[in-house]
Structure 1
Amino acid sequence: MKRILLGMALTLLFIPKSFSQGNTEYTGGYKINFNEDGSKYLRIIAWGQFWAQYSDDVPDDASNLNLSVRRARVLTFTQLNKKFLILTHFGLNSLNGSNLSPTGKGESSQLFFHDFWGEWQIGKNIAAGSGLHYWNGISRLNNSSTLNFMTLDNNRESWAALGLSDQFARHLGVYLKGKVGRLQYRVSYNEAITTTLDSGNDPTPNGRAVYRGRELLGAGNAGKVVQGYFDYHFLDEESNFLPYKVGTYLGSKKVFNIGAGFLNHRNGVVVMDGTGNLEGEDVNIFAVDAFYDAPLADDGSAITAYGVFQSNDYGRNFVLGPYGTGNMIYGHVGYLIPGAADKSRVQPYLSYQTRTIDAIDDNATRFGIGANLFMTGHHSKLTLEYANSKVGNGDSSGVLTLQAHIYL
């Protein structure tokens, strides 16, 4: 493993200078204008993330080193005038040797819609939309863009309803978004999914809550999810044209935001009493967070810092993979080493998460250390990260990941 670590580190730190030039002409993807002033247009963005992961904690018959396509995505949006917009986002995730299919027809090989919504401008600073959308509640990280993470990937537990009430962090519903002064907001009213990641588990007498409310209690009792996120922008204001929150601006903006958000799913989970009777319990998730991103000097250095406290109430003793009733604290910080914007730049970072899990009366932790090599900003970068995770009294597990990321 030491040889692999050394090789990956050398790959990250010693990229030839011929690959280090920036692209100052990039304006946000390929744009097709339908009129002379560009107010009627179609914009197309494509990106991919490619992983090599090494872990010692694998079964005897498994490989320590695995290759995968973490994300393959295409996003388009168009406006024929400023009164309405339609957005389409499709792709696939985590394609690897275990889920590839012989003729490309397997479930994991198929493209699917991540987002598909229409939006109407109903006032100067307010818009409404409908469809399969990403205008999420809870926290900044539950609205993260996958184009410009600072860390290797998102903090997994921040996508707190993924596969439980939504389809891959997207709900089908209606939303309202806008701003009042420096306060931005997004709220939505959505359908909950019927078949969840918990559908293979049955309620048991006095057992844990099971996330099958809509399935077992009916859409009338457990069919809707309400969520919202509100953040106040003290310094530079971020765009809310699209829902995707930036991970790091690499010193191009000076941002300090404080936010709060929530998600409520009435009767989202089901519990069983000692006599076998079923009843619903509400799912309530709440978070407060802060984000700071700013240049430190004229030499190109910059800092990115984020912290969040999240309260997770999934019902009685709920635990399922990364989800669990309890509280979570997460934070990360990164430092962009001084350098010219049109040259290769390095950003080391640290991340840490700790969360309580009521079902086991214990906690879980995750520590990450890594670095980004930006060859053309976020459009072409390499990320090397080592993460160590531990749940309760179990053994810790370490994973080393090298990612190549590109988007156009």
Structure 2
Amino acid sequence: MKKIRIAILILLSAFTAVAQQDTIIPPAKKEIKPQVIKPLRIALNEDGSHYVQFTGLLQAWVRYNENNPGSTINGQAANAENTFDVGLRRVRFQAFAQLTDRAFFYTQVGQNSFGFTSERKFGLFLMDATGDYECIKKHLSIGAGLGSWVGPLRYSSLAVASIMGMDGMIYQQTTNDLNDQFVRRMMIYAKGKIGKLDYRVSIAKPFLVNTAANKSGTGQAGIGELGNMQNNVATFSTRNPNPQLNTYMAYQFLDQEANKNPYMAGTYHGTKKIFNIGVGLQYQKDAMWYKEANASAPGGADTITHQYVTLGIDVMYGAPLNKETNTAISFYAAYLYSDYGRNYVRNLGVMNAADGGQAYSGRPGTYTSGGGSAFAMNGTGSTFSAQLGYKMKDNLLGEHGTLMPYAMTQVSGFQFFNYKPMTVFNVGINWLMKGHNSKISVDYQNRPFFAQATLADAPEQTTRKGMFVLQYQLMF
């Protein structure tokens, strides 16, 4: 009986302990509060509506690139098949000020694509310097200076700190460093909103064509000297440039975007609900020229001038998918028609991993995609592009942020290639430690290499090459 009593007491004690344990409230999980990075702003009046603000940006690349056939580094083909390098893709410092209710000042200095092949004693240069006056509140501001109020597409003026992929869709910067300064040019402009229609229009005086940015060794076609031109292959003219007309307008169906400066966001990570459809135009009279054989004069050629015109249409969609987890989607697609003149094509390699290229398979004078990481980015013809990204739930990695995988592509059909498709694609993932303020991106790009058998033949795709990039971005 005593043993039974002891057993009953033990069971009652265990039951009581379990019952008490069930009533214990488990410790609350530590809440991960988002850290808000306040802008570096100095108020100029009591309510802060007049202010001066400063920002900064650093994008550092660590890269491994499979160089194009025939690539050279410092004039040498040895060890030029592949390249490992570290570089500064972008450095930016901005200062802008709302000086009065209507007067706005904006300036930016920075540098692009500083790598091991760059000239040393790296220095910042003036990128933007504009001032505008709001003539009609919200509807019309007029300004002037060195700026980027241009078309024909959304990312012709890209807010580089908010890029969804590794880099922007650079082909949309249709004359980058040819007759502009990294997209910027001297201009007068008007911008504003009419209801949900956001618009910009500018008249610019292009710079004289920069032949140094179009060295044939890197495949960056565009040299304007008549002596270097093939018959029926257009390049940018080195003559006194005519004014250039730019416009871009977007109907913003949902949330409205700011237009204090010209640069348009790549993705909002679901903090806004965006659905925009935009159209744009660039036009410059007699911007291009080419030689055309003159049958009446054996061996002679006439110089033909040609307009430059691009027309674009695009759609942007970005929205949260789940309010509790803050997952989000970002999508962008664009179509661009470009007329640079007969057979124009320009190769470009961003922060090119090689500084030159030799004739491919012993065919001097024929076209190739150039050295390093270059490919045919722009040309007379049509281009379709798209990008899609998915931001995973907030705090997926706890206090270390979340992830955003993405994919993007450019598909072009250029006259010089007989409209055969030129396709580039990127896949990657962003580690958003603190949104755009602190993020690490890993990207793989695959691109084609085109070569011409003889001057009479259209270029053909002969191989494809890849590039891996690890980027760290810091912004304030």
Does the 8 Å CA contact 1:48/1:72 hold for their aligned counterparts? yes
Residues 404 and 430, structure 2, Cα contact 8 Å, conserved in 1: yes
SS of match in other structure, 1:268? strand
CA contact (8 A) 1:21 1:376 kept: no
Task: List runs of 5+ in structure 2 lacking aligned partners.
Answer: 1-31, 69-76, 215-221, 295-300, 348-376, 450-459
Q: Which of 410, 414, 427 is 1:369 aligned to?
A: 427
TM-score normalised by the chain length of structure 2: 0.76
Letter in 1 for 2:277: I
From 61, 64, 79, give the equivalent of 1:61: 79
- Paired residue for 2:136? 123
Letter paired with 1:297: N
Q: Is the 8 A contact 2:106 2:261 kept in 1?
A: no
Match of 2:223 among 183, 199, 213: 199
Q: Tell me, in whole angstroms, the C-alpha distance in 2 between the residues paired with 1:57 and 1:158.
A: 24
- The DSSP-based 3-state class of the residue aligned with 2:343 is coil
Contact 1:22 1:377 in 2 (8 A): no
- Higher alpha-carbon deviation: 117-126 or 158-167: 158-167
SS in structure 2 of the partner of residue 38 of structure 1: coil
How far off is 1:33 after superposition?
A: 1.6
Inter-CA distance 339–79: structure 2 relative to 1 (3 Å threshold)? closer
CA contact (8 A) 1:33 1:41 kept: yes
Residue number among 444, 447, 469 corresponding to 1:389 in the alignment? 447
Name which of 255, 271, 286 aligns with 1:236.
255
Letter in 1 for 2:130: W
Larger Rg: 2
Shift of 1:158: 1.1
CA displacement at 1:238 relative to structure 2? 1.0
Tell me by how many angstroms 1:397 deviates. Answer: 1.1
The amino acid across from 1:90 in the alignment is: V
2:346 is the counterpart of 1:320: yes
What code does the residue aligned with 1:316 have?
R
Given the alignment, which residue of 35, 41, 47 partners 1:23? 35
The residue matched to 2:171 in structure 1 has which SS? helix
Measure the CA separation in 2 of the matches of 1:210 and 1:292. 36
Per-residue CA deviation, residues 26-73 of structure 1 (Å, 9 max, x unaligned), is 24x311122222122210001100000112336542463110011111
> Shift of residue 201 of structure 1?
4.5
Deviations 1:184-230 (A, max 9, x none): 10000000121234336536473311201xx33x3xxx421001001
Q: Give the structure 1 partner of residue 389 of structure 2.
A: 334
Aligned-pair identity (%): 29
Residues 180 and 205 (structure 1), Cα distance of their counterparts in 2 relative to 1, 3 Å cut: same
Q: Does residue 371 of structure 2 align to residue 303 of structure 1? A: no
Relative to structure 1, is the Cα distance of residues 71 and 226 closer, same or farther in structure 2, using a 3 angstrom cutoff?
same
**Which residue of the partner structure matches residue 466 of structure 2?**
398
**Is the Cα contact below 8 Å between 1:251 and 1:293 reproduced in 2?**
yes
**Structure 1 residue 182 corresponds to structure 2 residue 196:** yes
Distance (Å, rounded) in 1 between the aligned partners of 2:230 and 2:468? 41
Question: What SS does structure 2 have at the residue aligned with 1:236?
Answer: coil
- Matched residue, 1:8: none
Kept after mapping to 2: 8 A contact 1:255/1:291: yes
8 A Cα contact 2:209 2:224, kept in partner: no
* Counterpart check, 1:345 vs 2:402: yes
CA distance in 1, matches of 2:328, 2:225: 47
Partner of residue 150, structure 1:
164
8 Å CA contact retained: 2:224, 2:235: no
Distance 1:268 1:100 in 2: 30
Counterparts of 1:352 and 1:136, CA distance in 2: 23
- 1:339 Cα offset (Å): 2.1
